Structures are given as C-alpha cells and as structure tokens.
Amino acid sequence: MENHLVIYNTLTREKEAFIPLHPPFVGLYVCGPTVYSDAHLGHARPAITFDLLYRYLTHLGYSVRYVRNITDVGHLENDADEGEDKIEKKARIEHLEPMEVVQKYMNTYHRNMDQLNVLPPSIEPRASGHIIEQQEFVKRILNSGYAYEVNGSVYFDVVKYSRNNSYGKLSGRVLEELIAGSRDLEGAEEKRNPFDFALWKKASPDHLMRWPSPWGEGYPGWHLECSTMSVKYLGEVFDIHGGGIDLLFPHHECEIAQSSAAMGKESVRYWMHNNMITINGQKMARSLGNFITLDQLFSGNHPALEKPYSPMTIRFFILQAHYRSTVDFSNDALRAAEKGLQRLFKGMDTLKKLKPSDTSSFDTAELRRKCYESLDDDLNSPVLLSYLFDGVKHINSVNDGSETLTSDDIVSLKELYDTFVYKILGLKEESSAAGSDKLTRELIEMIISLRQAAREKKDWQTSDKIRADLRKAGIILKDTNEGVNWEFE
C-alpha cells in the first residue's frame, strides 16, 4: 500500500514520510480525557485532529486500530504525585461514588464527541480496567532495575534511567537542568529524586479507589496506563501516538521512559501533538477557569458567548487552523466559521443542480490532486478547505453560466466533495429546524402558507407583517426562487 503522507514527528522535530510498521495495518494511540468534569472546547481539538487522521488513513485504505483511553483513576490534583485524585475529589464534592463521576462525565464526553461527528475509537480502554496489566508493567520495570519500592509505593528512577537513556529527548529537556531548576518537594521524601514519578502509589486509609498489589493496597500512577494499554492493544512497537502538546512533558516523556525501561525499546514511531485553543491569547483550561464547555458552546449559555454555535461550526472552526498552531477563540472567529461552513454546503448543494456542458472550463483532476496534496502535507486542513472553496467559486460560476463542466466532471466533483467534506473532514449538514419539535414545525409551515397566499394576492402589508412578527419570535424567513426557507435565529 502506498501513500504520500508526511507527518511532523515531535520526536525528531521534522516532517517525515509516514511508513507504517505492518501495512495495511496502522496502530494509533491517543490520550483521551480524564473524566472528572464536563468536556470543554479544548477536548474538541485532539478529538477532531486525530479523528481527521483516523479518517484519512482509513480513506487511504489502511486498517487502523485507533485506541483512545479514558483516564478514570490515578490522575492526581497537585504536585508531583501528591494531592488528591481528581476523580475522588469530585466524588467527595458531589457525594458520588468515584465510578459514578467517571460514568457521568464519560457519558457527556461521548455525547459531545458524537455531536462533533467524531468517530468512536476502535478500543476505548479504561485505566481502572487494566490494573493487573499495569501491575505487570511495574514488575517489568522493577525487574529491569529502573524502579524502586518505598513504603508500598513504587517510583521510577529517572536518574538511573538517564544514565543509559535520554530522558528528555521528546520534550527537549535536560535532566540536570530540571534538577537544578526544581524546588524541594515537601512530603515527597520517599522519592530519591524530585523527578522520579510514581508507577504505583500506596493508598492512604481514606483513599477510595484502591486495589491489592504485591506492594500493598494502592492505585496506579497516571503515566502508566498509556504505556500499558497501548502496548496491550497495539503491540510493543506501534505507529502513532497522539495527544495535546501540554502532555509532552512530563506525561509522554515518562511514557517513553517506562516503555524503554520495561521492554528495552521504545514503543512509539511517530509522536504527534496538537496545539492548544486559546481564549484572549491565553490557554483555555479547566485549571485556569477560562474554559467553555461544549454544552455551553452548543447552547450559547456562557457570558463570553454572544450566541450558540453548532457542533459543526466548532468542528469547522478547528479544521480551519492547522493542528500544530494555536487557535484563538472569539465570537467573531466562530461567526466567520459558521458563515464559511454555510458557503461550503451551499456550494455542494449547487453542485447537485449543475447543468452539464460539452467541455469543462476548469480542471477537476487538478483540484483533486491539490486536495490530496494538502492533507498529505501533515494534515493541512486549512489549505484543503481553501482549495474546496476555490472549487465552490468554480461551481457557482458554472451555475451562473460563466464556466462549464462536462457531466463526467460534475460526477467526479460530487464524488470529490462527498469524500473530502463528509468522509474525511467529517463535516455534516445540520438543519437549524431540526431541533424543533413536530408541532412547532407544522405551525410555522402553516403560517408560511398563509403568508404565501397573501403574497400571491400581492398583499404585501399582510405578508410583511407576518414576516416581521415571526422575526420578533426568532424565526427568520427568506424568500427564494425555490420557495420560502425558514430558520431559527
């Protein structure tokens, strides 16, 4: 199987030709969410970025096994390996079982991803479901001599590891500098070094999530789940590991260390990192308190939002920027995305109605070539969209009679847009009337038909009053050649 895909590998800091280890199979692992609160705009970025990759690789003919985990244990609140488990903390606040918290926010995440038309992964493993495997992984690291046990906890020995390995190779850190720049951590005396990290943590008496282990009752360290589950489902060496750039250090650095220590080799061949979404130039994050949840975005129910934005608007907005760039949130940008997406869909609508000619005045094969070229270049979706918009301009010109297309080219163009817009970019048309109930729709249709009767009698006064009154009720009418369109404001 052949491809011309080039992807930017964070490990080498270069664009590299993508050559799968075992074609036609591709193994893809992406860090999923820690499910302790509602999914926000930031979660949409990696989900959509790697959904695009998953869809494109599949389109190219690969059988992709896409693994995206759910972190439901072991992700701590505070200082390195100190502080409360995020999920346990939330459980205490909401008076729920930790697994109720997990279930609740996992459900929300799944619903939001579905709204964004993000395909579900092939496997969605949970950390709590792989405790045994994680313990086995810890044993392997202990056997290799790169971990030590203290008081029922097991830590990874970063200093020892870095003697024979390059800790920091992914993130560009130098251990000596990290140590020099670090402060002493209170309560972390168990560690030989502040940069050692927990593989297994002893559970304090009041800790809720706990499992028996050779080292006593405890729970796994956060970094461990990804190393363990990726290897379990994708093999000791696999093709692509993705995630947010904020996970580069320490999370992914620790993953490399764990896998190298346990298996004597690295698991990941291509590391890919999506950049952040910013709001007013600053990262959007739960911890900064400036985040907007996806439900808020879809409903418009947030002080920073001037209106609701549909899931496809969000998806388009994210795809309009390259995944390695930051993208700044604003109402203006969202509104522009909303309009742009409409233009794209209108163009595809027009395409369906084009009248064929004997000749074509522009080269559809060239457009197709450019579309592939853009995605092959490290998933450059903004450039792909620019070509698709160029195509829309041609389509509209054909519709106006200033350009022509043969029937073969029209068929080919339809196929091209279906493939790239629906299948690869994962965009779909949303009807603004879809959210309304049947009764409302029927009542509006009835009012419109009364207005049409008035219009036929050229009773513009009645006609305009109906239009104006509906406008006040938040319903917008548009008279077109094909009849009346309506939508909610």
Q: Site map for RNA, 9-38, x if CB under 7 A?
A: ----x-----------------x-xx----
DSSP string, 293-359: BHHHHHHT-STT-SS---HHHHHHHHHTS-TTS-EEE-HHHHHHHHHHHHHHHHHHHHHHTPPPBSS
> What residues between 266 and 285 interact with RNA by CB under 7 A?
274, 276-278, 281-285
Q: Are 309 and 284 in contact (CB under 8 A)?
A: no
- The single residue among 107, 301, 330, 432 that binds RNA, judged by CB under 7 A, is 330
Give residues with Cβ within 8 angstroms of 244, minimum separation 6.
Answer: 31, 42, 45, 46, 273, 274, 276
Output 139 or 455, the one with its CB closest to RNA.
Answer: 455
What gap in Å lies between CA 278 and CA 426, rounded to an integer? Answer: 23
Query: Least distance (Å) from RNA to the CB of residue 455?
Result: 5
DSSP-derived secondary structure for 29-78 = EE---B-SS--BHHHHHHHHHHHHHHHHHHHTT-EEEEEE-BB-S--BSS
CB atoms within 10 A of CB 157: 21
Looking at the Cβ atoms of 62 and 197, the one nearer to RNA is: 197
C-beta atoms surrounding 212 within 10 Å: 10
246 binds RNA (CB under 7 A): yes
Q: Which stretch binds RNA (CB under 7 A): 88-96, 122-130, 321-329, 404-412?
A: 321-329
Q: Which of residues 205-244 bind RNA (CB under 7 A)?
A: 222, 243-244
- Annotate each residue in 154-183 with x if it binds RNA (CB under 7 A) or - if it does not, as one string: -----------------xxx---xx--xx-
Among 98, 121, 125, 250, indicate the residue that binds RNA (CB under 7 A): 250
Residues of this chain, 355-394, that bind RNA according to CB under 7 A: 380, 382-383, 385-386, 389-390, 392-393
For RNA, the closer of residues 62 and 158 by Cβ is 158
Query: Can residue 99 be called a binding residue for RNA (CB under 7 A)?
Result: no
Question: Any contact of residue 431 with RNA (CB under 7 A)?
Answer: no
Among 160, 286, 302, 414, binds RNA (CB under 7 A): 286
Q: Hey, which residues does 67 pair with through a beta bridge?
A: 29, 123
Residue 80 binds RNA, judged by CB under 7 A:
yes
The reply to whether 476 sits near RNA by the rule CB under 7 A is yes
- Residue 336 Cβ vs RNA, minimum distance, rounded to whole Å: 3
Q: Which is nearer to RNA, 136 or 479 (CB)?
A: 479
- The DSSP letter of residue 129 is G
Q: How far apart are CA 429 and CA 425, in angstroms?
A: 12
Q: Is 474 in the site for RNA (CB under 7 A)?
A: no
